[in-house]
């Protein structure tokens, strides 16, 4: 027995050979990009020209520091998600709503943290005593408190007068231990209360205004402030010394954004104004500095901010002003646009860097094959066109071969040219023009849709953004679905992607049709969608331009086809009786199936109702349409075949009980045929609770849940088999499969919570499958499906050994070499996308969350690729040596034979 | 025929997103279903209705009554009448145009039938009319219940399930249903089997442990130790002379 187990250990070690990367492979196939999200607060470190650090706090509860020269992330703190971690304000030292924290700006370490009293946060500022910042004032709805900056201890706290009537909005330090609190009573007056260290206050009242003003911690606040009168109308006002009258200094119209900046003793106001609005091609904004004291424009301070044609409008302006050597004011600006892009600009309008922070919130993505190179496309085009006589065909052939020759010569020349240069200088810049498919289709275009409504095209090899397109008028809570209607395979027709954007409140949908390679919007007539859309389905029906047909079902169960040419409608009419779709209304627990009629109306044909009093539907998943299954069955130990139940229409429906009591809570897994509505299997996991993560593929469903009794995460796998005989081996039809499949299930303990799960996908489905599990730590685990096999035997037998089944162990191992992203953790991983490559062994993986990580995985190792260190020289020299040895020995043998014959 | 099923295969690749709609008017809520023959205390009956129309507009008629028996041992039986002459012809016509044969049962609870046993709506399923005709009305109806005993789904299949286009001449074959009726409660998914595994580990451990205890170290390797000792002795007795010789030479 001991021998047997040791044999098994050896066997196991053969199967689970580590897939970890070697040190020299780091960064070769993979890349990671780190993001922080939409900036809410930004500050620059100091007011010298040479300072490099800037700090931002974002809506994703992240506090980070950038290198202002390059835009690289120096350090980043990812706080809790949700309101617990919300950053209310960022001073030079960051602060959270309930927690007041101080950070070291060099390394990002936490200095101290104090818990504040409850109360809604209003504002905070620094208080300086004799030009050194020693205190922090925090203004709450009804109280103000002062804390020491060195250790966070509270100095004093005071209730504000009339806190019911007065909205206290701002707090400023007066320079000498004075704290001014600015309150507004709507439609009447403005209150300023000054707190001295010894709790006396005076108040003054003047005009009701909306104030946008900038204090300076070490000195008394500015007497000048901006008043915004309209979306692009600002007025610079000055409070006179007597404290009762206001004088307008300058009227800015049009002006998008205004901001104050202080350097040394000078304070300037930066104003962004639109420029060249008439020339729509190169819209730009101009930023000018104005002296705050007089309202005069400072000379030579104009910075041009180029507006991208498909970008958003400027949203926020942060100015980093500094004194130059000649005592004049120089500045750099950080502009945040509506599409969450951060641009850092230097005088006179040079963009130093841009960060696309919209990518911190990717909603959905697709990978699209790159197009062929021009010459390849030329050849393809030759075959694609209709024949027009013998002679023109010959001419075309010759011309295309000439172009091929030309391209080859150019390639040779380039090789020769580059060979002379040192290797470090050779740069393979990826641009849209040079994009072409590589030999094994490993490089693809990643089309990413972000929550802000900005679309990105990213080269999967380098991670560089090749195109971006900002969709305006996208609601913040809209749902997106990205559909590839035509791939790159149909030259000369360009590839076509369709983004379905659905407003969650109204249910109304809009379509955005674009070319996924170049990001350009295509000018196809879009169907009018006046009614809310319930369901969309991509049919395998192809129109004359090779675009797949998208069906949109509205709330009256009417179907709209896109594209809706005559050809398509005719095809749809012919196939109508075999087009089925399903709708799920989770709030009613209702699953229903529909069939298309010839007149594109629909009829309801089945209905399954899960009572909402007992359980609620949390998720439904079908199978991926581009998934291939290579083998129909599994060969068992006794040489018989166990056939898989490969129903492409199968839906996995996961429910959770409404009863949350740990003893009575359960998770339900229903396998429902999407065409007939037949419940294939219904399993109930008792004493279980969500969140449930699951993967549905081939003939299996893997789901993960929380066991409320044992308080641990568990994995369960369901596999469906038809048995040892196939009912109909040629085709699968949901309508003709009367026998229910055999269902096998096994459950394992998983020693970690998970955040997302996906299965690998390869070209032909020969390679064994792995599950990619995103862990909260940011690691991505590549778990072999072999460990999740319900046929793992409890008692090892001859047959199970023959089948290479791993003996059952209740706990699933986590091996560190299974982490595909070694130390490149993906913060808050939200989704994992897998795509097949041209190589059967290789699967492309993109994990997205706050960060984006792209890599390749080889679930069955690289069985179709020669290794990097493959010794070509040795093999060829051995081959040649053998060849010559046979030649020589043959010659020698001949001579010997001849000699013998003579003898 | 094959082409039809192939198209099913193609269409089966229906990637669909789940879009939830807020306002939904159920179209099946109109009629209150028969209160059944509530004579038996532990069992009750609900109507099983069917519909087959050439124009595919559902018009449900009574097919039979399902006798449901809840409680610990759920059981179900079906009493149904024969198809009338008109129905038979109608069914054949529907089969000829590849129409659907639909059945429905009202949503009921098998367990707490005192409190509002009947809810709104029906559970519907369908089968192709031609396969029903070709199988000579031999169908399998399955009722699915959830954990608390509510009926959640019904399914109907015919055996054999395919439509081969064979003509059913004999009218007798289409008179009576040959129905197999089952009721399937949800299966309990297994828990991780830690107890069995630990037990097995213990047994293995014992097996491995015992032989080591039986033989001591010396008992196992005495010949090696003895051989080693002899070798050492032999080499030590040979060494001095050799060393001496060397010393003398140098």
How high is the ipTM of this complex? 0.74
Give A889→chain B minimum CA distance, Å.
Answer: 52
pTM of the model: 0.79
Which chain A residues touch B107 with a CB distance below 8 Å? 609, 611
Helix, strand or coil for residue A398? helix
Work out the angle at residue B92's Cα, subtended by the Cα atoms of residues B87 and B97, and round it to the nearest 5 degrees.
Answer: 125
Q: Is the pLDDT of residue B242 over 50?
A: no
Are the C-beta atoms of A354 and A342 separated by less than 8 Å?
yes
Of B22, B27, B153, which is closest to A679 when you measure between CB atoms? B153
Give pLDDT tens digits for A491-512: 778 889 999 998 888 888 889 9
Give A854→chain B minimum CA distance, Å.
Answer: 25
Question: In angstroms, rounded to a whole number, what is the distance separating the alpha carbons of residues A625 and A485?
Answer: 13
Give A648→chain B minimum CA distance, Å.
Answer: 6
Question: Across-strand partners of B103?
Answer: B50, B125
Are the C-beta atoms of A238 and A247 separated by less than 8 Å?
yes
pLDDT at A743: 93
pLDDT at A6: 46
Task: For chain A, give the mean pLDDT.
Answer: 79
Task: Tell which wins on pLDDT, A381 or A11.
Answer: A381
pLDDT at A227: 63
Give A688→chain B minimum CA distance, Å.
Answer: 10
Which chain A residues touch B179 with a CB distance below 8 Å? none
- What's the rounded mean pLDDT across residues A161-182? 62
Q: Is the pLDDT of residue A596 over 80?
A: yes
Q: Does residue B97 form part of some domain?
A: yes
Q: Does residue B74 form part of some domain?
A: yes
CB pair distance less than 8 Å for A539 and B19: no
pLDDT at A881: 96
- What's the rounded mean pLDDT across residues A868-881? 91
Q: Is the pLDDT of residue A113 over 70?
A: no
Query: Is B188's Cβ below 8 Å from some Cβ in A?
Result: yes
- What's the rounded mean pLDDT across residues B103-123? 74
Of all residues in chain B, the one with the smallest CA distance to A586 is B20
CB pair distance less than 8 Å for A622 and B16: yes
CB pair distance less than 8 Å for A2 and B23: no
Half-sphere exposure (Cβ direction) of B39: Cα atoms closer than 13 Å:
2
pLDDT at A7: 44
CB pair distance less than 8 Å for B192 and A575: no
Of A5, A581, A610, which is closest to B152 when you measure between CB atoms? A610
A292 Cβ partners below 8 Å, 6+ apart? Answer: A222, A224, A236, A260, A267, A268, A269
DSSP 8-state secondary structure symbol assigned to residue A686: E
Which chain B residues touch A685 with a CB distance below 8 Å? 188-189
Give A463→chain B minimum CA distance, Å.
Answer: 29
Q: Does residue B245 form part of some domain?
A: no
pLDDT at A350: 81
Q: Could you tell me which of B112, B92, B118 has the C-alpha nearest to residue B32?
A: B118
SS (H, E, C) A102-168: EECCCCCCEEEEEECCCCCEEEEEEEEECCEEEEEEEEECCEEEEEECCCCCEEEEEECCCCCCCEE
CB pair distance less than 8 Å for A579 and B10: no
Give A33→chain B minimum CA distance, Å.
Answer: 29
Give B8→chain A minimum CA distance, Å.
Answer: 6
Q: What per-residue string of b and e applies to A808-822 under the rule 16 or more CB within 10 Å gives b?
A: bbbebeeeeebbbbb
pLDDT at B162: 82
Q: What per-residue string of b and e applies to A646-673 under the rule 16 or more CB within 10 Å gives b?
A: bbbbbbbbbbbbeeeeeeebbbbbbbbb
Q: Does residue B16 form part of some domain?
A: no
CB pair distance less than 8 Å for A668 and B186: yes
pLDDT at A719: 94
Of A533, A608, A619, which is closest to B152 when you measure between CB atoms? A608
Of all residues in chain A, the one with the smallest CA distance to B16 is A537
Structural domain containing residue B141: 44-184
Give pLDDT tens digits for A443-458: 899 999 998 889 999 9
Give A782→chain B minimum CA distance, Å.
Answer: 21
Q: Into how many domains does chain B fold? A: 1
Task: Tell which wins on pLDDT, A6 or A559.
Answer: A559
Which chain B residues touch A676 with a CB distance below 8 Å? 125-127, 155
CB pair distance less than 8 Å for A624 and B107: no
Of all residues in chain B, the one with the smallest CA distance to A746 is B190
pLDDT at A202: 35
- What's the rounded mean pLDDT across residues A647-657? 92
Give pLDDT tens digits for A379-434: 666 665 555 678 888 888 888 888 888 888 988 888 888 777 665 554 555 666 67
Task: Tell which wins on pLDDT, B75 or A199.
Answer: B75
Which chain B residues touch A586 with a CB distance below 8 Å? 18, 20
Q: Exposed, middle or buried by CB within 10 Å (0-12, 13-18, 19+), for A274?
A: middle
Are the C-beta atoms of A697 and A771 separated by less than 8 Å?
no
Of A1, A619, A795, which is closest to B207 when you measure between CB atoms? A1
A162-166, A337-341, A851-855, B54-58: which has the minimum mean pLDDT? Answer: A162-166
Element of type H or E holding A408: helix A390-420
pLDDT at A205: 34
- What's the rounded mean pLDDT across residues B161-170? 76
B3 Cβ partners below 8 Å, 6+ apart? Answer: none
Which chain A residues touch B14 with a CB distance below 8 Å? 537, 539, 580-581, 622, 649, 674
Say what the alpha-carbon torsion angle B86, B87, B90, B95 is, to the nearest 10 degrees.
Answer: -150
pLDDT band at B107 (very low <50, low <70, confident <90, very high): confident
Query: Is B195's Cβ below 8 Å from some Cβ in A?
Result: no
pLDDT at A875: 93
Kindly report the number of other CB atoms within 10 A of residue A388's CB atom.
Answer: 9
pLDDT at A176: 56
Q: Could you tell me which of A471, A572, A559 has the C-alpha nearest to residue A513?
A: A471
Task: Tell which wins on pLDDT, A178 or A592.
Answer: A592
CA distances from A820 to A31, A367, A779, A823 (A): 12, 20, 8, 9
- What's the rounded mean pLDDT across residues A282-302? 74
Give pLDDT tens digits for B201-230: 898 888 887 655 566 777 778 888 899 999
Highest mean pLDDT among A65-74, A348-357, A688-697 belongs to: A688-697
Are the C-beta atoms of A259 and A318 separated by less than 8 Å?
yes
Task: Tell which wins on pLDDT, B171 or A840.
Answer: A840
pLDDT band at A155 (very low <50, low <70, confident <90, very high): confident
Task: Tell which wins on pLDDT, B244 or A902.
Answer: A902
Kindly report the number of other CB atoms within 10 A of residue A503's CB atom.
Answer: 16
Q: Is the pLDDT of residue A727 over 50?
A: yes
Give pLDDT tens digits for A78-108: 877 655 544 545 544 444 445 566 666 666 6
pLDDT at B26: 33
Q: Is the pLDDT of residue A748 over 90?
A: yes
Beta strands B187-188; A679-686: pairing state? parallel
Query: Is B209's Cβ below 8 Å from some Cβ in A?
Result: no
Helix, strand or coil for residue A405? helix
Range A862-868, long-range pairs (CB < 8 A, 24+ positions): A864/A839, A864/A840, A865/A839, A865/A841
Query: Residue A447 has which token pair?
Result: 């089309």
A161-165, A328-332, A466-470, A751-755: which has the minimum mean pLDDT? Answer: A161-165
Q: Does residue B193 form part of some domain?
A: no
Q: Could you tell me which of A164, A194, A157 has the C-alpha nearest to residue A176?
A: A194
Question: Residue A737: phi, psi to the nearest 5?
Answer: -150, 70
Give pLDDT tens digits for A751-786: 999 999 999 999 998 999 999 999 999 999 999 999
Beta strands A143-148; A132-140: pairing state? antiparallel
Q: Does residue B80 form part of some domain?
A: yes
Q: Does residue B103 form part of some domain?
A: yes
Of B102, B159, B191, which is closest to A605 when you measure between CB atoms? B102
pLDDT at A671: 94
- What's the rounded mean pLDDT across residues B127-138? 88
Give pLDDT tens digits for A172-216: 665 555 666 666 655 445 555 555 433 333 333 333 334 444 444
Give pLDDT tens digits for A468-482: 888 888 887 888 999
pLDDT band at A714 (very low <50, low <70, confident <90, very high): very high
Task: Tell which wins on pLDDT, A92 or A716.
Answer: A716
Query: Is B123's Cβ below 8 Å from some Cβ in A?
Result: yes
CB pair distance less than 8 Å for A745 and B190: yes
pLDDT at A678: 92
- What's the rounded mean pLDDT across residues B90-102? 87
Q: Where are the beta strands (DSSP E) in A281-360?
A: 284-291, 303-306, 314-323, 329-337, 341-346, 350-356
pLDDT at A489: 80
- What's the rounded mean pLDDT across residues B22-47? 45
Kindly report the number of other CB atoms within 10 A of residue A115's CB atom.
Answer: 10
Q: Does residue B212 form part of some domain?
A: no
pLDDT at A379: 66
């Amino acid at each position: 027995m001991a021998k047997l187990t040791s044999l098994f250990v050896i066997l196991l070690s053969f199967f689970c050979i580590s897939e970890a990367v070697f040190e020299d492979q780091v960064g070769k196939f993979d890349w990671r990009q780190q993001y922080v999200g939409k900036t809410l607060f930004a500050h620059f470190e100091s007011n010298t020209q040479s300072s490099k650090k800037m700090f931002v706090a974002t809506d994703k509860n992240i506090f980070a520091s950038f290198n202002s020269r390059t835009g690289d992330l120096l350090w980043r703190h990812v706080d809790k998600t949700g309101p617990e971690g919300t950053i209310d304000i960022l001073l030079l030292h960051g602060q959270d709503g309930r927690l007041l924290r101080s950070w070291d700006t060099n390394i990002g370490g936490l200095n101290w943290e104090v818990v504040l009293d409850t109360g809604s946060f209003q504002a905070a500022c620094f208080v300086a005593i004799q030009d050194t910042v020693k205190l922090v004032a925090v203004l709450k709805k009804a109280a103000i408190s002062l804390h020491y900056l060195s250790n966070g201890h509270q100095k004093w706290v005071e209730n504000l007068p009339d806190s019911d009537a007065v909205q206290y909005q701002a707090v400023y330090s007066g320079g000498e231990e004075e704290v001014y609190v600015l309150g507004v009573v709507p439609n009447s007056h403005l209150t300023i209360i000054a707190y001295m260290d010894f709790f006396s206050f005076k108040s003054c009242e003047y005009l009701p205004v909306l104030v946008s003003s900038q204090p300076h911690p070490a000195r008394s606040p500015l007497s000048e402030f901006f008043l915004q009168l309209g979306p692009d109308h600002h007025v610079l006002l000055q409070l006179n010394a007597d404290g009762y009258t206001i004088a307008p200094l300058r009227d800015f119209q049009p002006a998008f954004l205004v901001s104050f900046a202080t350097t040394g003793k000078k304070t300037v106001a930066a104003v962004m104004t639109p420029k060249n609005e008439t020339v729509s091609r190169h819209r730009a904004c101009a930023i000018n500095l104005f002296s705050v004291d007089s309202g005069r424009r400072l000379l030579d301070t104009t910075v041009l901010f180029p507006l991208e044609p498909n970008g958003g409008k400027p949203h926020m302006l942060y100015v980093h002003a500094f004194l130059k050597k000649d005592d004049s004011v120089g500045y750099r600006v950080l502009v945040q646009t509506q599409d969450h892009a951060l641009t850092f600009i230097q005088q006179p309008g040079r963009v130093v860097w841009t960060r696309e922070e919209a990518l911190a919130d990717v909603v959905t993505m697709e990978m699209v094959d790159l197009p062929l190179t021009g010459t390849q496309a030329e050849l393809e085009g030759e075959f694609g066109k209709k024949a027009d006589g013998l002679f023109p065909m010959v001419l075309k052939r010759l011309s295309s071969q000439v172009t091929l020759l030309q391209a080859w010569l150019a390639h040779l020349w380039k090789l020769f040219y580059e060979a002379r240069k040192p290797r470090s200088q050779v740069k393979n810049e990826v641009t849209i023009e040079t994009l072409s498919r590589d030999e094994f289709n490993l490089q693809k275009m990643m089309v990413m849709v972000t929550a802000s409504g900005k679309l990105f095209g990213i080269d999967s090899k380098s991670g560089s953004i090749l195109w971006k397109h900002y969709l305006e008028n996208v609601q913040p809570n809209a749902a997106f679905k990205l559909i590839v209607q035509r791939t790159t395979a149909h030259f000369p027709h360009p590839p076509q992607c369709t983004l379905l954007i659905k407003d969650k409140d109204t249910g109304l949908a809009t379509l955005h049709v674009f070319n996924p390679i170049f990001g350009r919007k295509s000018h196809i007539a879009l169907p009018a969608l006046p009614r809310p859309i319930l369901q969309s389905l991509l049919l395998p029906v192809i129109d004359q331009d090779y675009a797949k047909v998208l069906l949109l079902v509205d709330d009256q169960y009417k179907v709209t086809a896109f594209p809706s040419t005559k050809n398509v409608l005719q095809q749809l009419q012919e196939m109508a009786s075999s087009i089925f779709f399903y709708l799920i209304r989770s709030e009613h627990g209702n699953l229903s199936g529909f069939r298309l009629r010839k007149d594109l109306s629909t009829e309801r044909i089945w209905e399954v109702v899960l009572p909402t009093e007992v359980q609620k539907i949390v998720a439904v998943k079908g199978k991926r349409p581009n998934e291939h299954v290579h083998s129909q069955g599994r060969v068992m130990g006794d040489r018989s075949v166990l056939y898989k139940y490969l129903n492409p229409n199968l839906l996995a429906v996961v429910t959770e009980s409404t009863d949350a009591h740990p003893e009575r809570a359960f998770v339900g897994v229903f396998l429902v045929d999407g065409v007939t509505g037949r419940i294939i299997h219904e399993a109930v996991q008792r004493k279980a609770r969500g969140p449930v993560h699951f993967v549905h593929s081939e003939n299996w469903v893997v789901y993960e849940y929380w066991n409320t009794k044992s308080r641990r995460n568990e994995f369960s796998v369901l596999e469906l088999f038809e048995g040892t005989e196939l009912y109909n081996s040629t085709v699968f039809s949901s309508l003709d499969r009367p026998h229910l499949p055999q269902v096998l299930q096994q459950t394992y303990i998983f020693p970690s919570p998970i955040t997302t799960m996906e299965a690998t996908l390869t070209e032909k489905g020969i390679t064994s499958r792995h599950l990619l599990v995103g862990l909260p730590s940011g690691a991505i685990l590549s778990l072999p499906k072999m460990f999740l096999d319900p046929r793992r035997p409890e008692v090892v037998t001859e047959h199970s050994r023959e089948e290479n089944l791993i003996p059952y162990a209740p706990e699933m191992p986590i091996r560190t070499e299974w982490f595909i992203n070694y130390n490149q953790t993906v913060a808050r991983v939200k989704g994992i996308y897998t795509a097949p490559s041209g190589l059967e062994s290789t699967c492309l993986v993109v994990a997205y969350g706050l960060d984006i990580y792209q890599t390749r995985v080889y679930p069955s190792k690289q069985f179709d690729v020669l290794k990097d260190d493959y010794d070509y020289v040795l093999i060829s020299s051995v081959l040649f040596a053998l060849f010559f040895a046979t030649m020589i020995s043959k010659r020698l043998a001949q001579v010997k034979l001849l000699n013998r014959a003579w003898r | 025929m094959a082409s039809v099923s192939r198209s099913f295969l193609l269409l089966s690749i229906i990637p669909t997103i789940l879009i939830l709609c807020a306002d939904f008017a159920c179209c099946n809520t109109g009629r209150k279903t028969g209160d059944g023959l509530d004579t038996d205390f532990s069992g009750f009956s609900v109507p099983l209705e069917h519909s087959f129309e050439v124009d595919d507009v559902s018009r449900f008629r009574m097919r039979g009554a399902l006798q449901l028996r809840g409680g610990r041992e759920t059981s179900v039986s079906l009493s149904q009448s024969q198809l009338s002459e008109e129905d038979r012809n109608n069914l054949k016509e529907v089969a000829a145009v590849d129409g659907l044969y639909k059945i429905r049962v009202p949503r009921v609870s098998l367990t707490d039938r005192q409190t509002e046993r009947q809810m709104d709506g029906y559970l519907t399923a369908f089968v192709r009319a031609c396969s029903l005709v070709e199988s000579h009305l031999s169908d399998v109806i399955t009722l699915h219940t959830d954990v608390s005993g509510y009926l959640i789904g019904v399914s109907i299949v015919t055996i054999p399930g395919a439509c081969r286009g064979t003509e059913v001449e004999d009218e007798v074959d289409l008179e009576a249903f040959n129905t197999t009726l089952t009721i399937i409660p949800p299966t309990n998914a297994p828990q991780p089997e830690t107890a069995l595994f630990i037990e097995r580990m213990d047994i293995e451990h014992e097996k491995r442990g015992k032989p080591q205890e039986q033989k001591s170290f010396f008992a196992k390797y005495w010949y090696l130790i003895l051989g080693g000792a002899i070798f050492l002795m032999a080499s030590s007795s040979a060494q001095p002379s050799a060393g001496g010789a060397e010393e003398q030479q140098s």
